[in-house]
Amino acid sequence: MPIRGSLPKGDYDYLIIGAGSAGCVLAARLTEDPRTRVCLIEVGPRDRSLFIHMPAALTMPIESKVWNWGYVTGPEPHLNGRTIGQARGRGLGGSSSINGMVWVRGHPSDYDQWETEGLSGWSFADCLPYFKRMESFEGGKDPNRGGDGPLRITRSRADHPFYEAFLRAGEAYGLPVAPDYNSESIEGLHVTQATIHGGRRQSTAVAYLHPAAHRPNLTVLTGWRADRVLLEGGRATGVALRRGKETAELRAGREVILSAGTIGSPHLMLLSGIGPADHLRSSGVTVRHDLPGVGENLQDHLVASLTFRASGTRSIASDLALWNRPRIGLEWLLTRGGLGATSFFEVGAFFRSGPDSGYANMQHEFLPFLADFQAGRVRIDHGYQYFLSQMRPKSRGWLRLRNADPDTHPEIVFNYLDEPSDAEEMLDGLAQTRDMARQAPWAAMGGTEIAPGPDIGSRAEALAWLRNIGNTEHHPVGTCRMGQDAMAVTDGEGRVHGLWGLRIVDGSILPYIPTANVNAPIIMVAEKIADHIRGRQPLARQELRPNR
């Protein structure tokens, strides 16, 4: 696999823009056919850094301008006008090279809703075979899990006392236990499954792209930015590229496929003159194809961090002190073990905000130390924290051009809590979380609440606190959604409505955000659409089966 900075000669069947979670999958699957020529184009660098591959070092690429696009959203109108950093991966593997590595498929009803609303072939029974095909689960192959796929999925060890206290406190509160939340019921407490194998991150670059290195029909081009899609007579024919002051064009004989992500793909569409006509004109872009849904329907999981102190139990924060980090790194280099081999998100839960919810609409992620991920460099302190997220928000945001300069980041507004029901669900989940944190397993450790804190009592006070601290889970989806209505951007196979030879395959086409950290669903979507592109029969539908 030539990974190169110099432009290759000749044309390709497929040009894939973006070597992230979806793009690496497509490049690997499409080049399984030796007659198919593919060029995968990524503006970022190769994934050579140890900080990419060492799970515990995940904050370093997030803090880096090399690996993180560093988008900023807002002002958010319902979060006191605050701006919020939005981390998106830049480089081979994309966001799968900088994320928290938590592996969640989602609730079956997430996908059944897609089909109910007109997307034939996207029920959970249609998706399950692809979830299975892409994984090798350390628990072994069974009717619901894959055992020989590219991605290695492991269970976390969860052997710190704080992890145990989290699980036991949840049980004391009344939550069930989900032994395998990616098989059968998602609801309840769980030990987290992660894209980590042998102590190393399993990005899609590691799992899909690198094993395709021997294929002469795959070229990976790094360091070049796609500025616009080339259109001729209603057909996408190629892309205009730029590296510094150097410009070039590459041609696609069959399709241009955008896999630049929920922010990158609509941004490139708009720069290419594909989107809402009035907005394009006001931004100084020539209208090539009026498509009003481009950049709309933006969704994310809002997160609130509840922080606590504990006495009598040594915090992991002591082990993560600056003077200990060289030792952690050396141990990881020599053994691929120790604290360097974990992302620390080793336990969690999915639960209902109330008896009328109908499904597990809230999520807990948990850290056995205090970490501020939002203000500049990550700061670590003693204690523990619950991350509370709402899984199926009704609020919708948007992405728009600020101007016609490709180097100018777009305007992004998630519009969190625009829908009053979203605020009510978060407040209900917050009240339950505080109750869980008061259970005996935490009291035995002297756990005391720092935030929201004892001064926050009423729902009005809690809502004011939420508006002041609410933040992103870095799970954006939906800005080029699949569908058949006037605001849909693609059909159920990712083909852009009204144009030939242009397809989108990434998180932007998800019509609704799933009950999941979104990396697994995005990889599944890429696996499934790769079969469509190759003209293969979809894998046979399969219902979840009870595990005995």
Residues contacting residue 7 through CB under 8 Å, at least 6 positions apart:
221, 224, 241, 248, 250
Phi/psi of residue 418, each to 5°?
A: -65, -40
The pLDDT, as a whole number, for residue 176 is: 97
Do 311 and 432 share a domain, yes or no?
Answer: yes
What is the enclosing helix (H) or strand (E) of 289? strand 289-290
What CATH number does the domain containing 22 carry? Answer: 3.50.50.60
Answer yes or no: do 173 and 272 share one domain: no
Residue 372 is predicted with a pLDDT of 75
Average pLDDT for residues 272-294, to the nearest whole number?
Answer: 98
Q: What is the pLDDT of residues 476-523, one digit of tens each?
A: 999 999 999 999 999 999 999 999 999 999 999 999 999 999 999 999
With respect to residue 349, please indicate whether it lies within any of the assigned structural domains. yes
Q: In what order do the strands lie in the sheet with 193-194?
A: 135-137, 151-155, 193-194
267 is a catalytic site residue: no
Q: Is 534 helix (H, G, I), strand (E, B) or coil?
A: helix
Residues 200 and 187 in one domain: no
The three-state secondary structure class of 137 is: strand
Average confidence (pLDDT) over 93-120? 96
425 and 410, same domain (yes or no): no
3-state secondary structure 385-397: EEEEEECCCCCCE
pLDDT over 90 (residue 318): no
Q: Give me 346's structure tokens.
A: 């080793």
User: Looking at 469, 496, 511, which one is the last position of a domain?
Assistant: 469
| Pair of tokens at residue 288 | 């090539």
Name the β-bridge partners of 249. 240
Count the helix, strand and coil residues of the chain and give each as a percent rounded to the nearest 5. 30, 25, 45
Give domain status of residue 111, yes or no: no
Peptide bond preceding 75 in cis form (omega within 30 of 0) = yes
99 and 47 in a common domain? yes
Check whether the bond before 546 is cis (ω within 30° of 0). Answer: no
**What are 343's two structure tokens?**
């992302």
Mean pLDDT of 20-35: 98
Q: So what's the pLDDT on residue 545?
A: 87
Is the same domain home to 295 and 323? no
Does residue 442 lie in a domain region?
yes
Q: Are residues 308 and 186 in the same domain?
A: yes
Instruction: With respect to residue 127, please indicate whether it lies within any of the assigned structural domains.
Output: no
Average of per-residue pLDDT across 178-201: 96
Instruction: Determine if the pTM surpasses 0.85.
Output: yes
Is 28 part of a structural domain of the chain? yes
Identify the active-site residue in 364, 475, 497, 532. Answer: 475
Q: What is the mean pLDDT of the chain?
A: 95
Q: Determine, yes or no, domain membership for 120.
A: no
Instruction: Give me the number of domains the chain comprises.
Output: 2
Are residue 436 and residue 505 in the same domain, yes or no? no
Q: Is residue 147 part of a domain?
A: no
In a 3-state reduction of DSSP, which class is residue 345? coil
Residue 457 and residue 528 share a domain? no
Residue 206 DSSP code: I
Q: What is the pLDDT of residues 418-431, one digit of tens each?
A: 999 999 999 999 99
Position 166 confidence tier, pLDDT thresholds 50, 70, 90:
very high
* Cβ 287 vs Cβ 423: under 8 Å: no
Query: What Cα–Cα distance (Å) separates residue 480 from each residue in 134, 289, 411, 456?
Result: 24, 14, 16, 39
Q: Which own/partner pairs from 72-76 qualify as long-range (CB within 8 Å, at least 24 positions apart)?
A: 72/409, 72/412, 73/397, 73/412, 73/413, 73/414, 73/472, 74/412, 74/413, 74/414, 75/413, 76/413, 76/414, 76/415, 76/416
Residue 321, CA atoms < 13 Å, CB-side half-sphere: 7
In a domain, 142, yes or no: no
Please report where in the chains the tokens 């926050």 appear, as a residue.
Answer: 456
Give the residue-averaged pLDDT of 225-246.
96
Report residue 125 as tokens. Answer: 């029974």
Query: Exposed (0-12), middle (13-18) or buried (19+): which is 170, by Cβ within 10 Å?
Result: buried
Residues 370-422 pLDDT 10s: 987 554 456 788 899 999 999 999 999 999 999 999 999 999 999 999 999 99
What percentage of residues in the chain have a pLDDT greater than 90?
89
**Does the pLDDT value for residue 334 go beyond 50?**
yes
Strands 151-155 and 135-137 turn out to be parallel
Exposure string over 219-230, b if 16+ CB within 10 A, otherwise e: bbbbbbbbbbbb
Question: What is the helix (H) or strand (E) element at residue 522, kind and residue range?
Answer: helix 519-534
* Residue 291 pLDDT > 70: yes
For 3-35, give the DSSP string: EESSPPPS-EEEEEE--SHHHHHHHHHHTTSTT
Please check whether residues 312 and 226 belong to one and the same domain.
no
Average the pLDDT over 119-144 and give the result: 96
Q: Which pLDDT does position 376 carry in this prediction?
A: 45
pLDDT tens digits for range 45-68: 999 999 999 999 988 888 889 999
The CATH number covering residue 374 comes to: 3.30.410.40
The whole-number pLDDT of residue 322 equals 81
Whether residues 265 and 348 share a domain: the answer is no
Residue range of the domain that includes 342: 157-191+302-390+417-469
Residues 454 and 345 in one domain: yes
pLDDT tier at 213 (50, 70, 90 boundaries)?
A: confident
